[in-house]
């Protein structure tokens, strides 16, 4: 029997095992999404009920799992996966501009047509300035960056085929003077007045403590997506834990001040260090175990799930994850939905 015939027989077997697979195929036209759906239903496991948390001054009751659409949708549509997430209770979807995430916004657009008024939609773009994290920018630089960032919002709206996003981020923020500049904040206010966006946010995985402090002091931000792990701040440059960072439990005072300032906090990269990188040596699954209590360690959660559960119970409102398969979605969903069971 040829490889293609074997694959086809396996595929049909999965569909026969669960009628949902055929429904997924008809709905999305994605054969492998149908296989994933059939596998998922065939194992007979029910999903826990999603939990929700108000996202700062947005007032939105958000699922504790945010669907990160950038990597998942950069090369193609995954409507069936998005629909399963939404139907299961995920109501925050985060994407980003074309120069970084390729076709992600374009590939999210068909799904948005079905659910736009029932979800919280985030997009983001980098401020186009080549500056060092601690460099003080000039007014001229700030004006240039603000124009480029505002123009990227217009392009994102066209790609998404919407006229409004709920939040627009300063993506990959690492420079406090950019984050706090009157020119960038003014560009946001202009976009808000034009009805293009409601809330300002930022994402950061470098110089995060200083960036978050600036956001707190500005009073302008409703959301911050932070690269943070049980062991402390994640460092994008080294793909590890930031040298000298205190563990997350000791970062609680700053996180609490951010929330008191009306900033909803979303985590990212919580488990990335566990995976490692081939050229750096593969990761270490027990890297965060020393930070966990007995109850979390005794759980049946995977190492990645434990990292998500921990950060959710130590200062964050939600956790953002890129998910490209049903199995990956279910794993992250379970961790976000049940994190409160393992705190003690």
- The CA distance from 121 to 169, in Å, is 11
300: Cβ contacts below 8 Å, ≥ 6 apart: none
The two tokens of residue 204 are: 């950061």
- The CA distance from 46 to 333, in Å, is 12
The answer to whether the Cα torsion of 275, 273, 167, 265 is positive or negative is positive
- The CA distance from 265 to 254, in Å, is 11
Per-residue pLDDT averaged across 314-326, rounded?
A: 96
User: Does residue 38 register a pLDDT over 90?
Assistant: no
Which pLDDT does position 239 carry in this prediction?
A: 86
Angle between helices 19-28 and 31-42 (to 10 degrees): 150
Q: What is the DSSP letter of 75?
A: S
Per-residue pLDDT averaged across 12-20, rounded?
A: 42
Per-residue pLDDT averaged across 253-279, rounded?
A: 91
Residue with tokens 């559960």: 309
Confidence band, pLDDT 50/70/90 cuts, at residue 52:
very high
**pTM for the complete prediction?**
0.88
Per-residue pLDDT averaged across 138-163, rounded?
A: 98
Which pLDDT does position 277 carry in this prediction?
A: 65
Whole-Å CA distances, 70 to 66, 78, 159, 320, 341:
12, 12, 13, 11, 30
Which pLDDT does position 19 carry in this prediction?
A: 45
b/e code 17-28 from CB counts within 10 Å (16+ = b): ebebbbbbbeeb
Return mean pLDDT, the chain.
89
- Percent with pLDDT over 70 in the chain: 85
Within its chain, how far is the Cα of 36 from the centroid? Answer: 22
User: Does residue 267 register a pLDDT over 50?
Assistant: yes
Q: What is the pLDDT of residues 173-184, one digit of tens each?
A: 999 999 999 999
User: Does residue 28 register a pLDDT over 60?
Assistant: no
Q: What is the DSSP letter of 200?
A: E
* Residue spans in the chain of domains classed CATH 3.20.20.100: 52-342
Which pLDDT does position 282 carry in this prediction?
A: 58
Neighbours of 134 (CB within 10 A): 11
Look at the domain 52-342 and name its fold: TIM Barrel (3.20.20)
């Amino acid at each position: 029997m040829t490889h293609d015939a074997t694959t086809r027989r396996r595929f049909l077997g999965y569909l026969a095992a669960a009628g949902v697979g055929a429904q997924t195929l008809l709905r999305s036209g994605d054969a492998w999404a149908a296989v994933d759906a059939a596998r998922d239903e065939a194992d007979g496991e029910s999903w826990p009920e999603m939990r929700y948390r108000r996202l700062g001054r947005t007032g939105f009751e958000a699922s504790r799992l945010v669907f990160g659409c950038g990597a998942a949708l950069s090369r193609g549509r995954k409507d069936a996966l998005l629909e399963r997430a939404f139907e299961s209770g995920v109501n925050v979807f985060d994407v980003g501009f074309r120069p970084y995430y390729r076709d992600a916004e374009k590939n999210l657009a068909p799904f948005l047509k079905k659910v736009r008024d029932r979800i919280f939609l985030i997009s983001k773009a980098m401020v186009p300035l080549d500056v060092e994290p601690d460099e003080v920018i000039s007014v001229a630089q700030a004006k240039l960056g603000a124009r480029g960032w505002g123009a990227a919002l217009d392009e994102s709206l066209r790609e998404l085929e919407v006229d409004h996003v709920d939040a627009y981020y300063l993506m990959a923020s690492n420079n406090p003077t950019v984050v706090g500049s009157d020119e960038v904040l003014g560009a946001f206010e202009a976009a808000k007045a034009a009805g293009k966006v409601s809330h300002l946010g930022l994402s950061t995985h470098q110089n995060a403590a200083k960036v978050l402090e600036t956001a707190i002091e500005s009073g302008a931000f409703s959301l911050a997506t932070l690269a943070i792990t049980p062991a402390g701040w994640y460092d994008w440059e080294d793909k590890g834990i930031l040298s000298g960072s205190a563990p997350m439990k000791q970062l609680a005072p700053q996180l609490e001040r951010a929330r008191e300032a009306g900033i909803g906090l979303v985590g990212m990269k919580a488990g990335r260090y566990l995976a490692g990188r081939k050229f750096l040596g593969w990761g270490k699954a027990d890297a965060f175990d020393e930070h966990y209590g007995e109850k979390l360690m005794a759980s049946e959660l995977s190492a990645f799930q434990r990292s998500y559960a921990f950060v959710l119970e130590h200062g964050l409102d939600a956790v953002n994850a890129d998910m490209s398969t049903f199995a990956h979605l279910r794993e992250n969903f379970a961790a976000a939905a049940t994190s409160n069971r393992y705190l003690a």
